[in-house]
Amino acid sequence: MALSTVGHREIRVGTRGSLLARRQTEWVVGRLEQLSPQQRFRLVVVETHGDRVADLPLTALGGQGVFVKELERALEQGEIDLAVHSLKDMTTALPPGLELAAVPKRVDPRDVFISSRHRSLQGVPLHGRIGTGSLRRVAQLKHWRPDLELVPIRGNLDTRLRKMDSLGLDGLVLAWAGLERLGWADRVAEIVSPDVILPAVGQGALGLEIRADDEDLRRLLQPLNDPDTLAAVTAERAFLARLQGGCHAPVGALGQVAAGRLRLEGMVADPEGTKLWRQRLEGPASQAKELGTRLAEALLQQGAGRILAQLEPAAGAAVEKVWAAGAVGRRSAAPGTVYLVGAGPGDPGLLTLRAKELLERADVVVYDRLAHPGFLEWAPARAEKIYVGKESSHHSLPQDQINRLLAEKAAQGLQVVRLKGGDPFVFGRGGEEAEFLRQRGIPVEVVPGVTSAVAVPAYAGIPVTQRGVATSVAILTGHEDPTKERPGVDWARVAQGADTLVLLMGVENLPQIAAALVRHGRPPETPVALIRWGTTPRQETLTGTLADIAQKAKEACFGPPAVIVVGSVVQWRDKIGWFEKKPLFGRRIVITRSRQQASALRRRLEEAGAWVWEFPTIRTEPLLDNPALEQAMARLAEYAWVVFTSANGVEFTWQALVRKGLDARAFGQAKLAAIGPATAEALAQHGLKADLVPDTYQAEALAAALLQAMGDPAGTDGAGGAGGKRVLVARAAEAREALVAALEAAGVRVDAVAVYRTVPAQAGPGGGTGEEGAAGDDAADASTGPAAATGDGRPPGLVTGRQLRSLLQAHQVDAVTFTSSSTARNFLASLGGAEAARPLLEGVALACIGPITARTLQDEGFAPAVIARDYTVAGLVEALEHWATGGGAAGKRSPAP
C-alpha cells in the first residue's frame, strides 16, 4: 500500500560521501520510493570530520560521533530532513531536538576475516599480522590469540583492502554488513563467530534520524522500522550507555530476538585483552532497555568498571602511539634494487636459495613464460606480479617496455625481482636489462640460475661433457635462421668448434640448423636429441641424427620449448637416463586432500615423477564454542591417557591450550597415544612424545593397543587394568565410534571431545582432514596441521571443478587419490554424484589410503585399483608405484598438457 506524501516538499536525505554510505542511503530512498511513489527525494552529501581525516585513529578524532556530527548539524539547521547513519557510529545520547525515527531490519552484524593468504583466522600462523581499526576487535583478538600482531588500519573498504596488500598483512577483520551492502561478500574468507569477536553496538543496523518535530516524516518512515531489530539495538545501546564506555573502551554487544524473547550478550575488555568480562541475559523483548542496563550493571559489578575508569584519560594518547608505530610500508626516495634472478629450467627444486630469499621479500615480481608459476607462491601476497612472458612467435611485452617497467618500479623505491627462466645471462637478455638500469642509476644484482643448457640434457641422461668423448661444449641460440644472408652465428666455426653443441630456442629452425651443421662438416650420422619441457614431468625426449632429426620432429609434432643437443654424448642417454625412468613419471594424478595437507602427498608423488593436480574436497574448521573442550583443558592432567586420532586433533587441541595460556606442562603425567606416525610427528612438533603408536593405523588397532597397555601390569601403563581409567579422545566431530566403543566396552571412562569438524571444501573456510579409520586421513602421514597457502592466485596444479571435469573428459587423468572416506564422498558429490561420475572415471585408477576409504568407494559401486597396505602417505605412494610399474595402466594415456 502506498503512503501519502509529506506535503509537497522534497525530502532531502543526508549521507556521508563514502561508497558504502551512499549505497545504504540509496537503499533507504529506494524503499521509500516504493512505498510512496509520489514523494520526491534528493540525496545531499555531507562531508564529516571522520571522512576528511582518514589517516588517524578514531580516538585521535574524538571517537564515536565523528561520522555523524556534521549530519546532525545539517539536520538542526534545516539543510537536510533525514540523516541515514550506520547505527554503530551514533552516540547513545542524541542532540536535543533530534530523534531516531526508524531502524530498518538489520543485516548480519558479525565481523568477517578477509585474506588472500589464509582461509580462517584460526589458520593464521603464530605472530601473524592482522589489520583492524577497532580497539574492540584488538582486545578480543588478543584475548583469543595473544600471539597475533594487530596493526591499526583505517579508511573505506577499498582503502583497507589495498593497505592489506601494501602492508603485507595476513588479513583484515571488518564488519560483514558493509561488504554485503557493497556486493563484496565473495571476498570473505571466514565469518567470525561472535564467540571470538562480539560485534560493536548497533553493527549491521541503520539509524534514520530526523528532527523531533517532523511528525509527517516520522509517519513516512514507520514502515521501514523493524521491531525485532529495534529491540535488539535498544538493548545494546542501553548497555553501552550505562557503561559510559566512550570511544577508547573495548565494548561489544549483540542482541538477538526470537519469538518475543531477547537474548543479549555483552563484553568489556582492557585494550590488550588480558582481562575480559563477558555475560549474557535473556528476557522479554519489550524490556529491551532494562535488559541492556541490567547486563551492564552485572559486568560493572564483576570489575569492568575499574577498566573503564582507567581507560579514558590515557587511552587516546596510547592508541595514537600504537597507530604511529603501525604506520609501516612507507617508501624512501632512494630507488629500489632490481634483482635479475635465474629461475632455472622448470623443476622448482632447482631454484637457488638466494632466489627464493629475494622472492619472499619482493615488492614486484616481473616474470617470464618459462619461470615456473609455483615460484609466485613464495612472493608476499602484497607483491605485484607482472607477466611479461615471451613465446617464439609472440611477446606479451616488448623488451624496451620491459626495461622501462623495471626502471619505473625501482624508481618508486620498490624491490623488484625480474624472474627469468634458466639463467638471466644465457640468452635471457639480462645484460641488456642490467645496462639499461645502471645507466639510469638503478642498483642491479644478478642471481645466476641453473641453465637449461646443462640441466635439461642432464635430466634426459645426457652429459654435455664426457671424458674421452667430449671435452668441450658450446651453447648457442637456434632462434635465428642460419640461411639468412648474414647470420649472427658463425655456423662454419660452430660446426667444428666444440664436441657438444647445445642450442636453445631452435626447434622451429631445426631443418636449417641440421643442414647448416652438415654443410660445414658435421657428419650426418652425428647423434641429436631434442628435449621438450625438460626437468618437469612433461619431459619428452626425441633422438635421431643430423640426417633425420628434422623429419622425426615433424612427424612427432615436436615443438618448442625444447633444447637441442648435438654430439656423441647423446648416446649416453641409454646408459644413464634416470628422470624418465621414475616409477610415476608422466602419470597424471589428482589429489583430493585438503589444500593445507596436500603438500606431503604431492611432494612424494612429484619425487616419483608424477604430474600432480590438487582438487581439495575437504576442509576442517575448529569448534570454537566448545564447552566440552574447555572442561577437558581444565582437568587435562587428570587423564591417564590423552588420545589423538589425527594431526589436526593435535593442532587444534594445542591452539586451545595456547588460548588458555597453557603449554605442554598442562598434560601433567598423562600418557599420549597417536593413531599413526603423522599424529606422533604433530605431537613432536610441540615437544610432546607419543607413548603409544599402533602397528596398524586404524581406530580398532589403536583401541586394542590402548587396552593392552592399560591392562597389562608390565605394559606401558603399568597400573594393572583398564577398568575405571579416564581417557580423553581429541577427535573430529565426524569420527567413527569404533575407538570410543571399544574402550567403553572394557570399562574405560572416555571423554570424547570433538575439537574440529570436517566440511566439504566448497562449504566454507577451513583446513585439513582427519585419518583413516576416524574422520579423515591423519594416518595418511599428514602434514601437521593447518598451514596457510600463500600467493596471489590459483597455485599451479590447483584445479577448479570445471577444470577437473574437462581433464577427465579429455582422458588427462591417470589416477585419483583418496585419503579418507570424506574425500571420496565429496569428490563424487563434486562431479554430480556417483552415477554422473561413473563415465568420467572410466579408465581412471582410484587409489585409497586404506580399506575403510576403499569400502566407501565400493559402497558407491566403484572398484579401487590401488589400496595401500601401509595406511600412510608413503604407503599410498608405494602402492601407486607398484600399480604403475606393474603394467596396470589407467586407460589410454595422451601427452600431458
Lowest mean pLDDT among 134-148, 367-381, 567-581: 367-381
Q: Is the pLDDT of residue 121 over 70?
A: yes
Q: Give the active site residue among 12, 106, 119, 137.
A: 137
Q: Which residue has the cell 583492524?
A: 132
What is the pLDDT confidence band of residue 396, given thresholds at 50, 70 and 90? low
Mean pLDDT of the region 660-678: 87
Q: How far apart are CA 83 and CA 75, in angstroms?
A: 7
Cis peptide bond N-terminal to 713, omega within 30: no
Q: Give the active site residue among 16, 51, 81, 89.
A: 89
Q: What is the pLDDT of residue 244?
A: 72
Q: Cβ neighbours of residue 770 under 8 Å, at least 6 residues apart?
A: 620, 645, 646, 648, 649, 731, 732, 734, 735, 758, 776, 777, 778, 820, 822
What is the pLDDT confidence band of residue 846, given thresholds at 50, 70 and 90? very high
| DSSP calls for 347-383 | -GGGS-HHHHHHHHT-SEEEE-TTS-GGGGGGS-TTS
Q: Is the pLDDT of residue 718 over 50?
A: no
88 labelled catalytic: yes
| DSSP calls for 385-437 | EEE--EETTEESS-HHHHHHHHHHHHHTT--EEEEESB-TTSSS-HHHHHHHH
Q: What is the pLDDT of residue 328?
A: 31
> What does the buried/exposed string (b/e) look like for 291-322 if buried means 16 or more CB atoms within 10 Å of the residue's CB?
bbbbbbeebbeeebbebbeebeeebbeebeeb
Q: What is the pLDDT of residue 601?
A: 87
Q: What is the pLDDT of residue 373?
A: 66
Q: What is the pLDDT of residue 785?
A: 26
Q: Give the active site residue among 88, 145, 582, 736.
A: 88
Look at 487 and 475; give whichever has higher pLDDT. Answer: 475
Lowest mean pLDDT among 178-187, 288-297, 602-611: 178-187
Q: Give the active site residue among 111, 218, 247, 382.
A: 247
369 labelled catalytic: no
Q: Is the pLDDT of residue 881 over 70?
A: yes
Cell numbers at residue 705, please? 593397543
Cell numbers at residue 222, please? 514507520
Pairing mode, strands 540-545 and 527-532: antiparallel
Q: Give the active site residue among 136, 573, 671, 825.
A: 136
Handedness of CA 66, 67, 69, 70 (dihedral sign): positive
- What would the pLDDT profile of 283-342 be if each residue is shown by its tens digit? 999 999 999 999 999 888 888 877 776 664 444 444 344 334 433 333 345 789 999 999
Hey, what amino acid is at 724? G
Q: What is the pLDDT of residue 267?
A: 93
Question: Strand, coil or helix: what is 257?
Answer: strand
Over the chain, what is the mean pLDDT? 83
22 labelled catalytic: no
Q: Which residue has the cell 577427465?
A: 808
Q: What is the pLDDT of residue 655?
A: 83
What is the pLDDT confidence band of residue 577, given thresholds at 50, 70 and 90? very high
154 labelled catalytic: yes
Q: What is the pLDDT of residue 787?
A: 26
Question: Strand, coil or helix: what is 474?
Answer: strand
Mean pLDDT of the region 196-206: 94
Residue 886, number of CB atoms within 10 A of its CB: 8
| DSSP calls for 605-668 | HHHTT-EEEE---EEEEE--S-HHHHHHHHTGGG-SEEEESSHHHHHHHHHHHHHTT--GGGGT
Asked whether 770 and 584 are in contact (CB, 8 A), the reply is: no
Asked whether 783 and 596 are in contact (CB, 8 A), the reply is: yes
Q: What is the pLDDT of residue 431?
A: 93
Q: Is the pLDDT of residue 42 over 90?
A: yes
Q: How far apart are CA 254 and CA 106, in angstroms?
A: 12
522 labelled catalytic: no
Cell numbers at residue 225, please? 522500522
Q: Is the pLDDT of residue 151 over 50?
A: yes
Asked whether 493 and 517 are in contact (CB, 8 A), the reply is: no
Q: What is the pLDDT of residue 64?
A: 52
Q: What is the pLDDT of residue 293?
A: 93
Q: How far apart are CA 407 and CA 337, in angstroms?
A: 9
Q: Give the active site residue among 16, 142, 154, 725.
A: 154
Asked whether 679 and 644 are in contact (CB, 8 A), the reply is: yes
Look at 764 and 499; give whichever has higher pLDDT. Answer: 499
Q: What is the pLDDT of residue 8?
A: 64
Q: Cβ neighbours of residue 346 under 8 Å, at least 6 residues apart?
A: 370, 372, 421, 452, 533, 534, 535, 536
Q: What percent of the chain has pLDDT over 70?
A: 84
Q: What angle do CA 127, 594, 599 make, to 5 degrees?
A: 70
Asked whether 596 and 767 are in contact (CB, 8 A), the reply is: yes
Q: How far apart are CA 779 and CA 160, in angstroms?
A: 42
Mean pLDDT of the region 549-568: 93
Q: What is the pLDDT of residue 789?
A: 29
Look at 625 and 839; give whichever has higher pLDDT. Answer: 839
Q: Is the pLDDT of residue 501 over 90?
A: yes
Q: Give the active site residue among 160, 420, 593, 619.
A: 160
Residue 522, number of CB atoms within 10 A of its CB: 21
Asked whether 340 and 430 are in contact (CB, 8 A), the reply is: yes
163 labelled catalytic: no
Mean pLDDT of the region 854-867: 94
Question: Strand, coil or helix: what is 256?
Answer: strand
- What would the pLDDT profile of 789-816 be if each residue is shown by its tens digit? 223 233 456 788 888 898 899 999 999 9
Backbone angles phi, psi at 736, to 5 degrees: -65, 155
Q: What is the pLDDT of residue 316?
A: 42
Q: What is the pLDDT of residue 124?
A: 87
Q: Cβ neighbours of residue 218 under 8 Å, at least 6 residues apart?
A: 99, 101, 210
848 labelled catalytic: no
753 DSSP β-pair partners? 730
Q: How far apart are CA 670 and CA 107, in angstroms?
A: 47
